[in-house]
Amino acid sequence: MIIVLKPDATKEQIDHIVEKLKGFGLQIHMSKGEERTIIGVIGDERVLANQPLEVFPGVEKVMPILQPFKLVSREFKKENTVIEFDNGVKIGGKRIHVMAGPCAVEEKELLIQIAEDVKAAGATFIRGGAFKPRTSPYAFQGLGPEGLKFLSEAKKKTGLLVITEVMDPRDIELILQYTDIIQIGARNMQNFRLLTDVGGYEKPVLLKRGLSATIKELLMSAEYIMSKGNTKVMLCERGIRTFETYTRNTLDLSAVPVIKKLSHLPVIVDPSHGVGKWDLVAPMAKAAIAAGADGLIIEVHPNPEEAFSDGEQSLKPKVFKELMKELRLVAQAVGREL
């Protein structure tokens, strides 16, 4: 349930309500909006059967959350969540942010060059996998800790924030030292141990939609993270598996407005994985912004034919630069900035 407080509710009144609820063994999640403060209550609400919460000082009304995802839902928080980083970057606001870089971190000098190129084009994040989940055990699995150090060097050289993937709960502490956003890939969307462990930290998380996951399943996975206290969650549409074989996946852009309707969390679109072909990335990136995406994550590599992974869907820096110019026009047309 959610407890909507009166605009003039005092700190003492709020503390009293929270203390009472915690005394019943319930989890409390506060959401302070522009007009109202809301207390989200998670747990067995039967313990409140004889507790008329409406009579507590400072309470305006008590409402049930009908959706199975509670903290993620628009019912719990009406305003869009905006995630702010130390350098002032904000995801979820008016400005659209682009995360760009190679699928996998390969060499330090190459990564730094890519970082410089994508920054010059307007990207605000460098992306790159140090740990790579691959379908084949014989494919390149990433450089591991060395790759994380290369990402750190790229950040120092360019000032770009870093996003990289975590696959194993045992690697979280290590990755936290080097990244600004923890990415949870499509194959791990329902790795509930990983979700709950990541939820114990305050580091922003980018949660990708599973290969065949419904929107509801994506939102429920986000709920696992938020239920542990981490509210800095972004959702990523990266294409789902359908009967179509021409593209790598089917990029479900209808998911963007649907998620925006159901949830307050920022939505990022990954057109590179969504289509798997470099020449289709640009039109889908433009369409994603038109659909309401808060950001894009795009693969960029100067020598796609020599890339260790996903070369066929990677844009060359010059192509990426031109795309960024076109994306600014689309963003402007829909009242956004890039």
What's the pLDDT tens digit per position in 10-21? 889 999 989 988
Q: Are 318 and 301 in contact (CB under 8 A)?
A: no
Arithmetic mean of pLDDT, 221-226: 96
Residues of the chain with CATH 3.20.20.70: 83-333
Q: What is the dihedral of CA 21, 22, 25, 29, to 10 degrees?
A: 80
Instruction: Give the CB-side neighbour count of residue 38, counting CA atoms within 13 A.
Output: 22
For residue 133, the model assigns a pLDDT of 72
- Distance from C-alpha of 293 to C-alpha of 191, rounded to nearest angstrom: 25
| Long-range CB pairs of 8-13, under 8 A, 24+ apart, other chains included | 9/37, 9/57, 9/58, 9/59, 10/58, 13/56, 13/57, 13/58
Q: Residue for token digits 């290590």?
A: 174
Neighbours of 244 (CB within 10 A): 9
Nearest to 259 by CA among 224, 299, 207, 211: 207
179 DSSP assignment:
-
Q: Are 76 and 65 in contact (CB under 8 A)?
A: yes
Arithmetic mean of pLDDT, 51-65: 85
Arithmetic mean of pLDDT, 58-72: 87
What fold does the segment set 83-333 form as a domain?
TIM Barrel (3.20.20)
For residue 50, the model assigns a pLDDT of 76
For residue 68, the model assigns a pLDDT of 86
Q: Are 111 and 101 in contact (CB under 8 A)?
A: yes
* Percentage of residues of the chain with pLDDT beyond 90: 72
27 vs 233, residue with greater confidence: 233
Residue 176 pLDDT > 80, yes or no? Answer: yes
Arithmetic mean of pLDDT, 36-52: 80
Residue 32 pLDDT > 90, yes or no? Answer: no
Q: Residue for token digits 């522009």?
A: 34
Q: What CATH number does the domain located at 2-63 have?
A: 3.30.70.1140
For residue 293, the model assigns a pLDDT of 98
126, amino acid identity? I
160 DSSP assignment:
-
For residue 188, the model assigns a pLDDT of 96
Residues of the chain with CATH 3.30.70.1140: 2-63
- pTM of the predicted protein model: 0.89
- Distance from C-alpha of 243 to C-alpha of 5, rounded to nearest angstrom: 49
For residue 234, the model assigns a pLDDT of 98
Nearest to 261 by CA among 93, 31, 63, 74: 74
